[in-house]
Amino acid sequence: MLLLRALTDVASSHPQVPGPLPAPREAWELLIKAERRSPPSVERLLLHPPVGAWLSRCLRRLRDMAREEEQEPAVPLWLETGYLHTVAAAAALLAGTDFRIVVPVRDGGVMLPALGFVDLVGCDSSLAEIVADGAGGRAVRAGSHTVPLPPDLTRDAKGWHALRRLRGRHPTHPCSPCLDDLDPYRDFLRPTAPERLSEPEARRWQELFQGAWRLVARQDNVDPAGVADCLMSVVPVRYPARADFFSASSPEAYGCVLLNPPADAATLAASLIHEAQHVKLSALLDLVPLMHGGMEEIHYAPWRADPRPLRGLLHGVYAFLGVTAFWQAHRRAVRGEAARAADFEFALRRAQTFQGLRTLREHAELTALGDRFLRGLEERLAPWLAEPVPEGPQRAAEDINLDHRLLHRLHHLRPAPQPTGLWAKAWREGGPPPAARPATTLRASRTAVAARPGLVRMRLRDPAGFALLREKPQEHLFGGEGGEGGEGGAQAPSRADLDWAAGDTAAALDGYRDRLAESPDDLTAWSGLALTLPAGPAKEALLARPELVLAVHRALRDPAGAGPDPVALARWIGTRR
């Protein structure tokens, strides 16, 4: 409420606001009127995640107007601040008070936060009026269009799309977040027009959510009630596919989870727990400091493609500890292919969590409470590190973790140019590698994420589907399963990646060599080469210092881009112990 008042004050004195809308104070006064009549209704609205996302975005925009004047904004300022008027209207509707207010028309209609969307298709007016009278009549009017609001705003009606809810049914731990495909601020990463799910799509989300919630609610390793309290809205998105299933949350949109369509209920359950952990830790960090500093983006995070600050690493550790807990219990409750997939996820996530904890211990300046907090995480993880995992899933998890670390080094570590040039000179002259290795610096760069993790998951979870993909890759687009902090999209997987995921390392090695001959800066092929080479100096060099092999190779390329055989160069570098 304080932030809304701050926005009202700033917007009221700003020359570009309110535009064609009534003054922001009119919306504020309606909001106060609604709160006096029904405080719980206004509280519900203020806790609706898109309202928090909009507030943060709008306040930043008002603060940075000098910078914005240099470029054309995608959304006019009056339209952005005008969301305040729709918030006030929704609050008044929830409170059951009489009112009349003018609101902006956006994306072909009027969004009433936490309630639904008024469809004004064909209307060319930029403004609409919402009226509620004492006789129970409620309507939205824009130009010649009038849409009566139904008595029950939770159900669709002509011109009215109600905000759907998912139902995670359970006798003691129910969970019912909204399924938001309507609000322009539902995606806290960027404003988004309504994209109404079809009825079959909505039913599919409900089926998956019910299955996922059943898995969460039966867990002893996680707190289902705590997870439910952290889930207020689920927002379907379709971000480019990456190495892991995509999910995201933000402290500015408390309780909101962005999700790509999940592959199965278990994957969705793990993602819900993951994001609930982020929400809980964000709330804790608002109350107590756990570390000093920790804002430099220089540290390796086993679950991210980009370097991360220690504070981000702490978030990831806490989130993936929850995911590890889920898979630890789930793998004992399933059989067959589901068990192999769960074993893999458990082995992968416990190793990533352990690596993150180790980095925090080595580099974070913890407060006394932070040290106590971290000790609790370490004690929780310790017995799981000792649990045996079948060889196949364990080996796959180790390979994927190694692949991730190699790609991180290839993308972000840069050997010093002058010493690297001496190594290139020694190669050209046929001499031994220099005694001194070049120092490296961290320089974050755009990342390309390998398809290999997604292919391994598919092989474990759906062997028949993987076999079909391997047989006819061009007929089956594939782009991993989404993931955090990467680039890329759906595409036919490379033959080398398919061979590697299938365990045919000899064929994969040939494939990666072919890829590097065609595109010597294909970093996922360099990492694949390291994974598939037999034991020896070449493999040792690529595993220990892949960025050095890459840098020397780049220094040796001719103007046409051709360079030495990558394996021969790696073998030569590997002779320097």
User: What's the pLDDT at 483?
Assistant: 35
Mean pLDDT of the chain: 93
Q: Are residues 231 and 344 in the same domain?
A: yes
The pLDDT of residue 560 is above 60: yes
- Per the domain annotation, does 159 fall within a domain? no
Tokens of 201: 């799509």
Q: Are residues 385 and 410 in the same domain?
A: no
For residues 374 and 401, is the Cβ–Cβ distance under 8 A?
Answer: no
The pLDDT of residue 243 is above 60: no
- Per the domain annotation, does 182 fall within a domain? yes
Cis peptide before 18 (omega within 30 of 0): yes
Task: Give the model confidence (pLDDT) of 445-479 as tens digits.
Answer: 988 778 899 999 999 999 999 999 999 887 765 55
Looking at 390, 421, 448, the residue that finishes a domain is 390
Task: Give the model confidence (pLDDT) of 288-318 as tens digits.
Answer: 999 999 999 999 999 999 999 999 999 999 9
Beta-strand runs (E) in 270-345: 291-292
User: What's the pLDDT at 18?
Assistant: 64
- Per the domain annotation, does 160 fall within a domain? no
Say which range, 170-179, 232-241, 255-264, has the weakest mean pLDDT.
Answer: 232-241
User: What's the pLDDT at 72?
Assistant: 58
Residue type, 27: A
For residues 450 and 440, is the Cβ–Cβ distance under 8 A?
Answer: no
Say which range, 13-17, 185-189, 191-195, 319-323, has the weakest mean pLDDT.
Answer: 13-17
Band (pLDDT 50/70/90 cuts) for residue 70 is very low
Task: Give the model confidence (pLDDT) of 88-111 as tens digits.
Answer: 999 999 999 999 999 999 999 999
Residue type, 56: S
Q: Which residue has the higher pLDDT, 22 or 492?
A: 22
- Per the domain annotation, does 158 fall within a domain? no
Task: Give the model confidence (pLDDT) of 322-373 as tens digits.
Answer: 999 999 999 999 999 999 999 999 999 999 999 999 999 999 999 999 999 9
- Per the domain annotation, does 61 fall within a domain? yes
Band (pLDDT 50/70/90 cuts) for residue 43 is very high
State the DSSP code for 504. Answer: -
User: What's the pLDDT at 482?
Assistant: 34
User: What's the pLDDT at 67?
Assistant: 58
The pLDDT of residue 66 is above 60: no
3-state helix, strand, coil in the chain (%, to 5): 55, 10, 35
Q: Are residues 114 and 241 in the same domain?
A: no
Q: Are residues 468 and 513 in the same domain?
A: yes
Cα 574 to Cα 577: distance, rounded to the nearest angstrom: 7
Cα atoms found within 13 Å of the Cα of residue 576, Cβ hemisphere only: 21
- Per the domain annotation, does 289 fall within a domain? yes
Q: Are residues 186 and 300 in the same domain?
A: yes
The pLDDT of residue 522 is above 80: yes
Q: Any alpha helices (H) in 120-217, and if so which ranges?
A: 199-217
Task: Give the model confidence (pLDDT) of 372-399 as tens digits.
Answer: 999 999 999 999 999 999 999 999 999 9
- Per the domain annotation, does 375 fall within a domain? yes
Q: Are residues 560 and 418 in the same domain?
A: yes
Q: Model pTM? A: 0.92
For residues 277 and 268, is the Cβ–Cβ distance under 8 A?
Answer: no
Q: Are residues 458 and 381 in the same domain?
A: no
Q: Three-state DSSP class for 565?
A: coil
Q: Are residues 350 and 473 in the same domain?
A: no
User: Which domain range does residue 286 map to?
Assistant: 165-390
- Per the domain annotation, does 325 fall within a domain? yes
Band (pLDDT 50/70/90 cuts) for residue 242 is low
> Mean pLDDT, to the nearest integer, of 31-35?
96
Q: Are residues 102 and 210 in the same domain?
A: no
Cα 556 to Cα 563: distance, rounded to the nearest angstrom: 6
User: What's the pLDDT at 297?
Assistant: 94
| pLDDT > 70: percent of the chain | 94
Looking at 153, 177, 211, the residue that finishes a domain is 153
Band (pLDDT 50/70/90 cuts) for residue 65 is low
User: What's the pLDDT at 472?
Assistant: 87
Q: Which of 16-20, 176-180, 216-220, 251-255 is most confident?
A: 176-180
Say which range, 4-13, 79-88, 499-508, 509-518, has the weakest mean pLDDT.
Answer: 4-13
Q: Are residues 351 and 417 in the same domain?
A: no
Residue 409: alpha-carbon gap to chain centroid: 22
User: What's the pLDDT at 480?
Assistant: 43
Q: How many domains does the chain have?
A: 3
User: Considering Cα of 508, then 513, then 514, then 519, what sign does the dihedral take?
Assistant: positive
Q: Are residues 122 and 261 in the same domain?
A: no
Q: Are residues 362 and 406 in the same domain?
A: no
Looking at 97, 131, 153, the residue that finishes a domain is 153
